[in-house]
Amino acid sequence: MDFKQTKNILPDRLTAIKENFGKLENLYREYLFNDYLPFIDQYVFDHEHGGFCCSCGYRGDRLSSNKRTWYDARGAWIYAILYRDHGVDSQYLDKARLTLMLLEKTKDEKQVYWPWSYNQYGLDLNERQGDIYGNLFVAEAYIAYGSAVKEIDFQKKGKAILMDVYTLIQQPSYRYILDYAPGGRQASVQDVLGHWMILLNVSSSYLEDHGDDEQIIAIVDHCINALMENHFQRECGLLLEVKSDHKAKGDIDWDDFAYLGHAIEALWMVIKEAHRRNDIALFELATKRFRRHVEVAWDDLYGGFFHSLESIDNYHFLTDKVLWAQHEVLIGCTLLIEIQNDPWAYQWFEKTLTYLQTYYVQHELPFRPWRIGGNRRTDDPQTGTRIENYHHPRHLMFVLGTINRMFDQNRTDHDNTKRVN
């Protein structure tokens, strides 16, 4: 069975939406190449030492020169993918390499994790212990850079980190300090949806170049089972952020907590992997669950998506809004548009983008920076304390590449050296 055979017929009333999607290329090109990349280059990237000083206001005022493993590794990934897939010149590859060199400098071989934060020169600030996500983002950066320059040694480094992470999180003694538990509490937990989500995405990226690697295939299979079976709460049809059989008195009821932003992000990653491996049943199941989470997370009163359902039974949401959760909806919808010509996805894409253009894109500022969040109405004045350098550009690249594949495959690109794909 072919994926295209599962598509729905586009109703006449959706024709305009579909046409508008195809016309987004110039807008998304401006957002990426005229707004985001020049802003980062001028205010955020450290051209001398590598890395990203993301503590920065929306007008470009740098608040600190300190850096974090998360942001540096993810920024290096963005630059590597820009070079590999989006036809930018080699300066971005050079910046990715410089940042990887900084990350190598920061790692203490005696420590399991890359440091949480460090100064401009790579010296650990000892603010808190590093975590599993930092290691995974470094692995992602190595794999992408290796793919971009076609050097297997970098990809092998990434794979080695993946294997270590996979082994570590299955140890009985492993614990993760979750700092986004209901009520703003911290909790020591083991089986976290977010771990399997990132592990799946990074492993899938490795398989793009090494599709027959049995070790990585086994990790991907385990991740999918964890996400689609172990973390799925059948009664409400939602993915739970933490899977725990421990029911001590006073503990958080993890069966009542859905971190919707992660669930939506994880599900588009499952959709993407299902399509890569031509698994129709998994694709359809992940698509059904993606739609369910999107519709539950939408704020019918003020628009936008809630990212945390603090209590499923009481239908109690954390009501602030974060940019990254909105982006994950757009990426998932874009996948379904390309693969299935999905009318539901067209509608939700337009609805979400309209909301973001109204409340997040700061049209009055140079480079039109997107605010990273706000209150429920997203009407609280902000000068900005951090610039988002992963979810936002990833979404821009993903949508732009999809538009070009769908509507513009045969036209010469006059802005870059090769087609965005």
User: Per-residue pLDDT tens for 89-125?
Assistant: 899 999 999 999 999 999 999 999 999 999 999 999 9
CA distance 204 to 275: 11
CA distance 274 to 271: 5
Mean pLDDT of 395-415: 74
CA distance 105 to 123: 8
Q: Give Cα 132 distance to the centre of its chain.
A: 16
Query: In whole numbers, what is the pLDDT of the chain averaged over residues?
Result: 92
CA distance 286 to 272: 9
CA distance 158 to 175: 23
Is pLDDT at 80 greater than 60 in this prediction?
yes
Question: Which two tokens mark 7?
Answer: 């598509």
Q: Tell me the pLDDT tens digit for each residue of 131-153.
A: 999 999 999 999 999 999 999 99
Q: Which residues, in sequence order, are bridge partners of residue 56?
A: 62
| pLDDT for position 89 | 87
**Alpha helices per DSSP H over 89-150:** 91-106, 132-149
21-25, 145-149, 156-160, 219-223: which has the minimum mean pLDDT? Answer: 21-25
Q: Tell me the pLDDT tens digit for each residue of 262-282.
A: 999 999 999 999 999 999 999
Report the 10 Å Cβ neighbour count for 225.
12
Report the 10 Å Cβ neighbour count for 411.
10
DSSP-assigned letter for residue 180? E
Question: Which two tokens mark 314?
Answer: 């009481």
Question: Which two tokens mark 304?
Answer: 């936008």
Q: Tell me the pLDDT tens digit for each residue of 38-64.
A: 999 999 999 999 999 999 999 999 999
Residues of the chain by 3-state class (helix, strand, coil), percent to 5: 55, 10, 35
DSSP-assigned letter for residue 409? T
- CA distances (Å), origin 368, targets 32, 221, 351, 401: 11, 41, 20, 21
DSSP-assigned letter for residue 5? G
DSSP-assigned letter for residue 57? -
Work out the angle at residue 216's Cα, subtended by the Cα atoms of residues 242 and 392, and round it to the nearest 5 degrees.
60
Cα–Cα nearest to 37, from 3, 2, 1, 87: 87
For residues 305 and 326, is the Cβ–Cβ distance under 8 A?
yes
| pLDDT for position 403 | 93
CA distance 254 to 233: 11
CA distance 367 to 375: 23
CA distance 203 to 197: 10
Owner of token pair 């290796």: 146
| pLDDT for position 2 | 46
| pLDDT for position 282 | 98
- CA distances (Å), origin 122, targets 47, 276, 361: 14, 38, 33
How many helices (H) and strands (E) in the chain?
14, 12
| pLDDT for position 370 | 98
Is pLDDT at 230 greater than 80 in this prediction?
yes
Question: Which two tokens mark 291?
Answer: 């739609």
- CA distances (Å), origin 209, targets 70, 96, 140, 204: 24, 19, 13, 9
CA distance 261 to 294: 9
Percent of the chain with pLDDT over 70: 92
Angular region, 124: left φ>0, alpha ψ -120 to 50, beta rest: beta
Cα–Cα nearest to 325, from 387, 256, 395, 223: 395
Is pLDDT at 408 greater than 80 in this prediction?
no
Cα–Cα nearest to 161, from 176, 146, 175: 146
Identify the helix (H) or strand (E) that includes residue 308.
Answer: strand 308-311
Predicted structure pTM score: 0.94
162 contacts: CB under 8 Å, gap ≥ 6: 136, 139, 199, 202, 203, 206, 216, 219
Q: Tell me the pLDDT tens digit for each residue of 366-375.
A: 999 999 999 9
Is pLDDT at 414 greater than 60 in this prediction?
no
